[in-house]
Structure 1
Amino acid sequence: MQRRLDSQRKNPAPDNPDILKSNNQEVPFEVPEVWYDTSGEDTASPSKDMKDYYIAIMRLSALTGLKDMLQFNQVPSHLAINRLVQGLGDHGDLEGIEEVECIVKNLGPLVNMSYMLFVNNKALAHIKNGNIDSAVEVLEALYTQKDGHEKSISFVFRKVLEANNMMRLINVMSALVERLCNQFATYRPATDLFLQYIDIGRTEDAKFLLQRCAAVAERKDLILSYMTRVSTKPGQAAKIKYLLELVPDLEKQAYLTFLMKCYCVDKDLTSAKALYQQMQDEKVQMNSLSLKRLALLYRNAGETVPFEEPPVNIIYHFQEFLRSV
């Protein structure tokens, strides 16, 4: 063993041939040739077709699952179909949406899905694929071919506004709703966009849209529906207030009722007290439902209710409120 080590010390392994060559020394052994492909074609990198590959896999998996259900005489739920179609729309899979639409049509009354689910997501798929003109054509045709049905494209507007980097598309959509207002007397799309602006806090955009499409303020049914929806969630009082700023001729009792509901949801007794005092000063009668909510807020805060509390029949109070608006 010691002899072997001594031998290695006397005859060290040859140096790196590149080092020898760089020092003008003779390489005392044969250097094997190594071929390198420097073209870079086989270098590992993300494939440009990877997105298409994932879309195809997702579509195949989802549609296979849907078809398997039908094969075993199982009817998919509305929620399952909604999520499938929205997932395909988010990935720009127009072909997949059309295939699901065909399946749903064949099911007939077993799955009574709104056709707007498919229209909205086809438009979204075009947008995801960069085909803005095609998306506009889909949406414009929806309103210019009048069939008497009320149609909402809030879903598309919300998706576009959530993206935050599609200013050109937002401008295109604004031009579309303005054209539908002025040329076709169709105000639903503009109202949808207006309420989406309110919902995400883009109040200046909402104000500007209202200036260009004043008829939006006439769709009080949609505004009332919006207030009904948002007043069930915490932190929405500012939206209700700003709506009254922009549309001052809203039915005051309805507006104040929803504002009171917001304060009660937020457990904001201070604001609720101020609103109650304002209504008394302005001789606006508070309906029984609002009084009941306010009384509950007082009691939960450990304070004495300063007015006669109405009976407990909430259903009756709600029906009373609906009649009033």
Structure 2
Amino acid sequence: MSVTINAHQLGRLLARTADHIGDDLTPALHGIRLDADAEYLYAVATDRYTIAAARYRHHRPDSEDAAPTAPFAHTIPAPALPALREWIRTVPGHAPVTVTPDGTRLRFTAPDGELTLTTDPGTEFIDWRGLLRGITEQAPITGEPVFPALGTRLQARWQTADAVVRIHATGNHQPLLVIGEDFLGAQMPTRARRDGFSTGTDTDTLATPADVRTAWHDVLSASPATTPQTALPVPPQSPCAAPKTISEVTEDLLKQVLHSTQLLIAADTGEAMAAHATAGATAWAAYRYLDALHTADPHLAATVTAETADQLDDGAISEWAWDAAAAAGHDPHKWQTEAEQRSARRSLPQPVNT
């Protein structure tokens, strides 16, 4: 009856949905629902205006004969979430965390610790599957432009959903669908007349794109229409700046592999051949690792890529590497001594055969 995922993914499930928790006036919605089936662990939260559901494929049993995971669903009350999120931060991100229902409690077990929270599995949470299914299957409203009004306070909640989300709207008064990587959410539109798009009457003055063009026509007609690609300046790129996005790093690594291969073929000394071979092989390995990480966890891949770019731009990667080696239990002092000894041997005069 338990599921296992790594600590990083459990923390991310909570982070992607925490902004959507309902207030304590509705106890059933004042928390995050952890819901598990045979394949995924879900985290779900809603305040009736927005709903967010994130999922992660949990670890399958090692034995093919093992019984499938029995479904369970517990709501973690909002007051208990800070303790859980703090406990997760003390667990190494790659460490497995097993989530086990135990009556009215959920037990979280890591290799070096355990946390048990009291929940109420009988709390009547909404049928979130049925609700999201209804929203994904809602038919477009005909006879009106799709031009919904959205509360900006609610829109800010989606910044933790994913780095990029897709938006789908089918009508001015139907829920807006928000789609991310292993993420599904929705936001209720607001009533434009009630919330300010009016001139003291009961008429929405900006109900269609044509109304917007009319309202702004006098000022915008002073210039010809252009596109962002031609109107906005492109910031200069420093040739020494490290790439900061996954696509930039991927391009840079593959370019390095091909460039090193060409230089390897043209090298005229064994030392140069070894250097180009090492550079090409290292770039290819880095590309494969990044590609695998991006497939498993796009958010973590983007975060690591940006942090690595900052470290490269900082210029102190030897210090970063020294600290990382020591933290991993290696002996960087020994490595340095061995490198100095190899360098000294190369600098000795070679015997001349007579």
TM-score by length of 1: 0.22
Larger Rg: 1
Structure of higher RCO (CA pairs closer than 8 Å, 6+ residues apart): 2
